[in-house]
């Protein structure tokens, strides 16, 4: 699946295409940081990239992990937008394409452990906060909150 607008396009990709962006944006560029996930190659995993030309500037991966969204939901992980293009709506565009693609596959709910610093972005994209779910990420020690989105209500 690919969707384009001007010089920006969104496409499903292999997880390997997202590792550099994951490392730079989500793990502070630390070479020792783990940016792969055992579920990256799962047949139900879906990986999306936003491209400016040939450059990956947005990443979003979805995994078949049951959570607050219930059975059949997908967990969003590794959502990242490169520093120099943040605030331009590119992350929202990738989410919109990914959500439509997942909804077309029959996925009805999404969930994520969102960085608290990104909650405003997710709210603007119509995700909702699970009250009382605030926690520190075991991986990064950064404050996170669980968020969910019902695809049936927004896309159906």
Q: Which residues 6+ apart lie within 8 Å of 135 measured at CB?
A: 113, 143, 144, 145, 146
Give the pLDDT confidence score for residue 3 in this predicted structure. 63
Instruction: Read off the pLDDT of residues 70-82 as tens digits, 9 standing for 90 and up.
Output: 787 999 999 999 9
Of 38-52, 80-94, 126-140, least confident by mean pLDDT is: 126-140
Cα 36 to Cα 46: distance, rounded to the nearest angstrom? 14
CATH architecture of 2-155: 3-Layer(aba) Sandwich (3.40)
Q: Which residues 6+ apart lie within 8 Å of 125 measured at CB?
A: 92, 95, 96, 149
Give the pLDDT confidence score for residue 155 in this predicted structure. 43
Cα 68 to Cα 85: distance, rounded to the nearest angstrom? 31
Share of the chain above pLDDT 70, in %: 93
Domains of the chain by residue range: 2-155
Cα 150 to Cα 69: distance, rounded to the nearest angstrom? 8
**Rounded average pLDDT over 115-119:** 96
Beta-carbon count within 10 A of 36 CB: 14
Higher-pLDDT residue of 155 and 135 is 135
pTM above 0.95, yes or no: no
Give the pLDDT confidence score for residue 156 in this predicted structure. 40
What's the token pair of residue 49? Answer: 């990239």
Of 20-24, 37-41, 96-100, 148-152, least confident by mean pLDDT is: 148-152
């Amino acid at each position: 699946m690919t969707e384009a607008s001007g010089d920006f396009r969104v496409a499903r990709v292999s997880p390997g295409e997202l590792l550099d962006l994951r490392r730079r944006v989500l793990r502070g560029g630390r070479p020792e940081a783990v940016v792969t996930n055992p579920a990256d190659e799962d047949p139900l995993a879906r990986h999306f990239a936003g491209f400016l030309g040939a450059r990956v500037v947005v990443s979003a991966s979805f995994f078949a992990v049951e959570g607050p969204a219930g059975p059949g939901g997908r967990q969003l992980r590794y959502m990242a937008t490169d520093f120099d293009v943040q605030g331009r709506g590119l992350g929202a565009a990738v989410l919109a394409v990914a959500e439509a693609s997942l909804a077309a596959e029959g996925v009805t709910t999404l969930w994520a452990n969102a960085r608290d610093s990104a909650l405003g972005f997710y709210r603007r994209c119509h995700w909702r906060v699970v009250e009382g779910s605030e926690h520190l990420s075991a991986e990064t020690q950064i404050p996170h909150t669980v968020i969910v989105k019902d695809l049936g209500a927004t896309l159906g």
